[in-house]
Chain A
Amino acid sequence: MKRTPVLLRQHIGRYAVAHWRVQGKKKIIETGAEQILKKKNIPIYEATDLVRHPPVAFDETHPDWHDKPILSCKDDNVLLEGLSQAKILTNTVELKEGLPDSIALKDIPKQINNRVQNIILGSWLFDAEQKKLPIVKDPERPAWNFPRTYGVTRNRVCKLLTARLLQLIETTCGRNDLVSDRYLINDLLFSYPFERQSDLIQFQLSGDTVVTTINSSVKKSHPHTIFTRFNREEVKNLYEEEVTVPQIYGRSLLKAFTVCASYAKNQYGDEVKLLPKPVTVQAVQTDGCFFHFGVFQLNTLDLENGDVKNVWYQTPLLNLFERCCYDLGRPTLEGYNSEVVKHLYAFYHSV
């Protein structure tokens, strides 16, 4: 039988082999790099010697092995019990519901409300980012696959919203002395390790946008307000159930505590327990739609002794709006709530 007719058929495997046969032979181009390096007395190693390390076993023989585990709370996790657990961990009490009296809410003009609405639309709908958004599932019809949508990701929305709202507040608050003292820093990482009831605990949390101010007495910059974002795709329970509202509250508290504690440690030394002067930080957490406002006052870093306690004030979750989407191709914003912006102004004004 002639083999020709069979071989005439296209066969990707045979083609790949033939291609490999030709392209598998490569001539190494001499660049002269070796000569130049030798002239400058730089040692030369074989690349494979550096790359091919045997895999390091992750057990007792590992150089960084510790017998006692450290319980670490990071940005992608929340406490199981939420706020109540966070209060116990940080030796904190909530004296009353709502924010302290020093934070006064003032009415804002209609003109600013209109600008805020434009900011919301600009961040949620008009931004040019087009990325794959998370998979949508309807719990009533779990088998239904929605078409995959592209648009502005939640992290980008939060980032734009905070930056634009802060910029609006800075330009319209009418206090140049305040604004000249305030600085904005993005993506700061705060870490506070401590020991509690012979457990090693560490909080490693980020302040996504931190407003700092210059303290008149110390003449030194210190954290004033932290803005953190909450993305349901990133912040999850270990058991993959939905994050509850108390857990969101607890996350705000932990973030504020970590910022206060790491600043206090930096300010008063590693061994400080009872602070000579309390450290206060305001915390704002948002997922782009809801806002959570809290104020944390750090009095002590002795977290096991109950004589002196830290103080936490907070508001419930406030929605900036009810609905913001394209309706029949028309951008719509419904149920705008000006309370959120009032709180933001009040936070910015507090000294």
Chain B
Amino acid sequence: MSCLTRSFQTLVLSTIPVNISSPKILGTVRYMAKYVEKPEIGRGKSFRRIVHFPEEYTVKPLGVTNLAGRDPNSGRVVVKGIGGGIKHKYHWIEWKREGPSEGAPQIERVMKVIKDGCRTAFVALVAYNDKLKYILATENMKAGDIIRTSSYIPRIPVRPNEGDAYPLGALPIGTQVNCIEKYPGFGGTLVHAAGTYATILRKAPDDHIVVMMPSKREFSLPAICMCTVGRISNVEHSSTPIGSAQRNRELGNRPRSGLWQRKKGIHGRKIRRPPPVQTIARKDKGNTEIVTFSCDRPLIPTKFHQFHY
């Protein structure tokens, strides 16, 4: 039928002189799919929720917008299996534990340990000077505890208590630490999950400290990187089963296809040697500007009036 219309149209148009401004006959419309660039997953962008951060730090729990696996710009589904669940407010954690670089450490007090719905670990409300902040709670942290923060690296390692924040270089070898800064002054980015900890292994040349991550990988980090002493709270999290399909939905996960199978003995065992120690240094990314070229006319020779976005 559309072929017939099109042939009629060409027939009619061919008989009409071009310079006469008569109403155009609308032929068949081609609905073109619009090309949308989807963001890459695993690049530090969350498709579970957006947190509405205010300009200044606050301990007031923040509002969130749940994304259900969609990219907020294009609106397309990027991650499958996310959606629904109980909406939780977000506790804004102060990742930077900054203390005095000389003299006595800053003293802080744990006011309350709070269960946070947006992460696996518990969150501790901490009061210092005349301010309040949230930090990730360690295993045995409780209300009323006094914790210390210092950026000073003494010649002899300090004897730290759980929850204290010191530079990696100030702590004795074998200490369990969490919430480690990857780059100095960047805020703690490594080891955030419930029940996890990293271990300080040895000193490395060039003022670096080798730390074993929960994944058993070894990172060589600058000695001035801050970290919190102890193991992250909610240790039972990994051994607690979700319990039911409904509970999984409450956590904001959608049903799985059921096709995934865990590898068994028949798949064999691959023994690899551990990867070598990775030295972390901030890379100079150089010029990251991306130029986008545009095209004035459609690449396919299609009649203009046939386009219908």
Contact = CB atoms under 8 A, between A and B. Distances in A.
Interface of A: 80, 142-143, 238-241
Contact of A238 (B59, B86, B250): B59
Interface string B59-91: 111000000000000000000000000100100
Contacts of B89: 240
Contact of A240 (B61, B86, B246): B61
A239 B132 contact: yes
A238 B132 contact: yes
Contacts of B86: 142-143
Contacts of B132: 80, 238-239
B61 A239 contact: yes
Given A80-B127, A240-B60, A143 B250 contact: yes
19 contacts: A80-B111, A80-B127, A80-B132, A142-B86, A142-B250, A143-B86, A143-B250, A238-B58, A238-B132, A239-B59, A239-B60, A239-B61, A239-B112, A239-B114, A239-B132, A240-B61, A241-B112, A241-B114, A241-B125
B87 to A, nearest CB: 10
B248 to A, nearest CB: 11
Given A238-B58, A239-B61, 14 more contacts: A80-B127, A80-B132, A142-B250, A143-B250, A238-B60, A239-B59, A239-B60, A239-B112, A239-B125, A239-B132, A240-B61, A240-B89, A241-B114, A241-B125
Contacts of B112: 239, 241
Main DSSP-derived SS at the A contact region? loop
Interface in B123-170: 125, 127, 132
Nearest to A240: B61
Interface in B163-208: none
Nearest to A71: B130
Nearest to B85: A143
Contacts, number: 25
A77 to B, nearest CB: 12
B265 to A, nearest CB: 39
Contacts of A238: 58-60, 132
Contacts of A80: 111, 127, 132
A238 B125 CA distance: 11
Contacts of A241: 112, 114, 125
- The 7 A-B pairs at the shortest CB distance, nearest first, are namely A239-B59, A143-B250, A240-B61, A142-B86, A238-B60, A143-B86, A239-B125
A70 to B, nearest CB: 13
Contacts of A239: 59-61, 112, 114, 125, 132
A288 B60 CA distance: 28
Contacts of B127: 80
A71 to B, nearest CB: 9
Nearest to B127: A80
A239 B57 CA distance: 12
Nearest to B84: A143
Contacts of B59: 238-239
A142 B89 CA distance: 14
Nearest to B114: A241
Interface string B82-124: 0000100100000000000000000000011010000000000
A238 B61 CA distance: 8
Contacts of B61: 239-240
Contacts of B58: 238
A331 B61 CA distance: 39
Nearest to A242: B112
Nearest to B249: A143
Contacts of A143: 86, 246, 250
A293 B61 CA distance: 33
Nearest to B115: A139
A239 B61 CA distance: 6
A135 to B, nearest CB: 13
Contacts of A142: 86, 250
A1 to B, nearest CB: 10
A209 B121 CA distance: 45
Interface string B221-255: 00000000000000000000000001000100000
A238 B89 CA distance: 13
